[in-house]
Amino acid sequence: MSDQSSAARRIGIIGAGPGGICTGIKLLEAGNASFTIFDRAPGVGGTWFHNTYPGCACDIPSALYSFSFELKQDWSRPYGTQQEIRAYFEHCVEKYGLGPHLRLSTGIVSAQWVEDAAVWRVVTEHGEEHEFDVLVGAVGMFGEPVTPDIPGLETFGGTMFHSARWDHDHDLAGERVAVIGSAASAVQFVPAIASEVAELFVFQRTPNWVMPKEDTPYTYEQLAHFRSDPDAIVALRREIFERIDPAISFSDPRMVAASEGMARDNLQQVEDPDVRARLMPSFTHGCKRPLISSDWHPSFNRENVALVTDSIERVTPDGIVTADGTTRAVDTIVLATGFSTTKYLAAIDVVGRGGTALADAWDGGAHAYLGITTSGFPNLFMLYGPNTNNGSILYMIEAQVDYLMRHLARMDDEDLAWIDVRPEVEEAYNTNLQADLDAVEVWQVSCNNYYRAANGRIVTQWPHSMSEYRAWTSRPDPDAYEVGSLTPADA
């Protein structure tokens, strides 16, 4: 065997969120300590490091939001808070000894495949160069906040920030605040700030279905039970999985109707019939990301909170003008406008075989075999890649890391320098996948979701259950890949 054994194969990991952390743990478990985890942030946790807005929490029950090999038994409530989730990932880093492998505050700006040496040459934002035999992209979907294209936005003279980069040094108490956006982040932080601001204007482009959130904090007795009986959290995790797994494919009209019914009932908390009507979606539940909150709708019963559904015409130095000519003076604008969800690893300058840029290879929308590998980019594995978004992403990431580890083991066993998914295999997979996506009726309705690339292809969502994804990624598929070895002189 060449010096590219499991212990010596150099692996670069971009991202210190759940994907990077899980990969590092599994590499150490397999006896490979030759890896580096890069992240532009000064701490670990990925989206849970960056998103610190008031009320930030998971929208998947927490019992299902930890690694299967490191179950957290003492979540304070059914839906873990951002602080708890970030602390959980920090715990994983410390427990499994990932600290020496971390390069924080070090973003990656480019990665280029060097054909004759069969390595990835990576350049950091500090100008450092590194070479790796395998590159793992664990940047996910929610890394790059979107700034909306609104005339005059740059002229605003007050305070402005994106919800994903919350300015905790700025006190909102007594201010007039505008929130642009009304989806996942706004649903969580609007109720958290409504009582402290003088006026709160929520600018909504499209309403969302919001189901109630059963999130009563666990009692002391319940927490003591979870801590003393490991089987209790395992049973709760199984119950949650069995409830969520069949629902995320939206294939059962009765489940879709039941969810919409709960959301309709939740909406009845809004007292003003006009406001309630403007918060009522016109599309089927599931077309957009399902949201959960029992506090969002009651926020609009407050005298200091106003829902604005007229489109924004422009921003002035001291306020926002809507299409009906109304000017609303505000002190602070919070952009709850989401992320560039369809870029994935193409947010970095990645160049593969023949000098092909990943952004060009994905010109018609991001695509990958099993959401993990893209033809023309050998030894490149993506976590939370194209079309893998659904259910608990930690469950999906574990399946992807297991897939990665199986192929690394194969490379070691067969003394391979590189593997590259065959173009016809990736094309066939994605053709079938798009057909399955087209069969999900609720995703075919126009509702301004973030799922589609510019050409209309859905590039974010997985159309089946989590258990089906686990089955797909567990199948042996050596013939799906072209392989190559180093020349004897280099071996």
For each of the domains in the chain, give its residue range(s) and CATH number, in order of start: 11-144+340-484 (3.50.50.60), 153-209+262-335 (3.50.50.60)
Q: So what's the pLDDT on residue 339?
A: 86
Pure H helices in 172-279: 184-193, 220-228, 230-244, 253-267, 273-278
- Is 355 a residue whose pLDDT tops 50? yes
Q: Is 283 exposed, middle or buried (0-12, 13-18, 19+ CB in 10 A)?
A: middle
- Is 411 a residue whose pLDDT tops 50? yes
For 91, other C-beta atoms within 10 Å of its C-beta total 13
H/E element, 308:
strand 305-308
Query: pLDDT (tens digit, 9 = 90+) per residue, 283-302?
Result: 999 999 989 999 999 999 99
H/E element, 177:
strand 176-180
Among 259-268, 270-279, 297-306, 481-490, the range scoring the smallest mean pLDDT is: 481-490
Q: So what's the pLDDT on residue 144?
A: 86
For the segment 8-37, the average pLDDT, to the nearest whole number, is 97
Enter the DSSP assignment of 104. Answer: -
Q: So what's the pLDDT on residue 1?
A: 36
Q: So what's the pLDDT on residue 7?
A: 57
Q: How far apart are CA 404 and CA 379, in angstroms?
A: 10
Query: pLDDT (tens digit, 9 = 90+) per residue, 302-318?
Result: 999 999 999 999 999 99
Q: So what's the pLDDT on residue 142?
A: 82
Share of the chain above pLDDT 90, in %: 92
Q: So what's the pLDDT on residue 6?
A: 52
Q: How far apart are CA 17 and CA 417, in angstroms?
A: 28
Enter the DSSP assignment of 298. Answer: H
What 3-state class would DSSP assign to 17? coil
Closest CA to 345 of 14, 8, 78, 6: 14
What 3-state class would DSSP assign to 482? strand
Q: How far apart are CA 130 and CA 239, in angstroms?
A: 45
- Is 347 a residue whose pLDDT tops 80? yes
Output the average pLDDT for the chain: 95
Q: How far apart are CA 175 and CA 404, in angstroms?
A: 50
According to DSSP, the residues that pair with 211 across neighbouring strands are: 292
Among 46-60, 272-286, 445-459, the range scoring the smallest mean pLDDT is: 445-459
Q: So what's the pLDDT on residue 489?
A: 43
Query: pLDDT (tens digit, 9 = 90+) per residue, 28-63?
Result: 999 999 999 999 999 999 999 999 999 999 999 999
Q: How far apart are CA 470 and CA 228, in angstroms?
A: 30
Q: How far apart are CA 7 and CA 102, in angstroms?
A: 18
- Is 2 a residue whose pLDDT tops 50? no
Q: So what's the pLDDT on residue 447?
A: 87
- Is 486 a residue whose pLDDT tops 80? no
Q: So what's the pLDDT on residue 467?
A: 98
For the segment 77-97, the average pLDDT, to the nearest whole number, is 98
Give 445's contacts (C-beta < 8 A, 6+ positions apart).
283, 284, 287
For the segment 362-366, the average pLDDT, to the nearest whole number, is 94
Q: How far apart are CA 420 and CA 458, in angstroms?
A: 24
Give 91's contacts (C-beta < 8 A, 6+ positions apart).
none
For the segment 265-287, the average pLDDT, to the nearest whole number, is 96
- Is 435 a residue whose pLDDT tops 60? yes
Q: So what's the pLDDT on residue 340?
A: 85
H/E element, 428:
helix 423-438
Enter the DSSP assignment of 452. Answer: B
Q: How far apart are CA 250 and CA 459, in angstroms?
A: 17
Q: Give the distance, in angstroms, between the CA of residue 488 and the centroid of all CA atoms in the same chain.
A: 43
Contact predicate 79/97, CB 8 Å:
no
Tokens standing for residue 429:
């997979």
Contact predicate 336/185, CB 8 Å:
yes
Closest CA to 321 of 234, 219, 201: 201
Q: Is 1 exposed, middle or buried (0-12, 13-18, 19+ CB in 10 A)?
A: exposed
Q: So what's the pLDDT on residue 316?
A: 98
Q: So what's the pLDDT on residue 311?
A: 97
Enter the DSSP assignment of 324. Answer: T
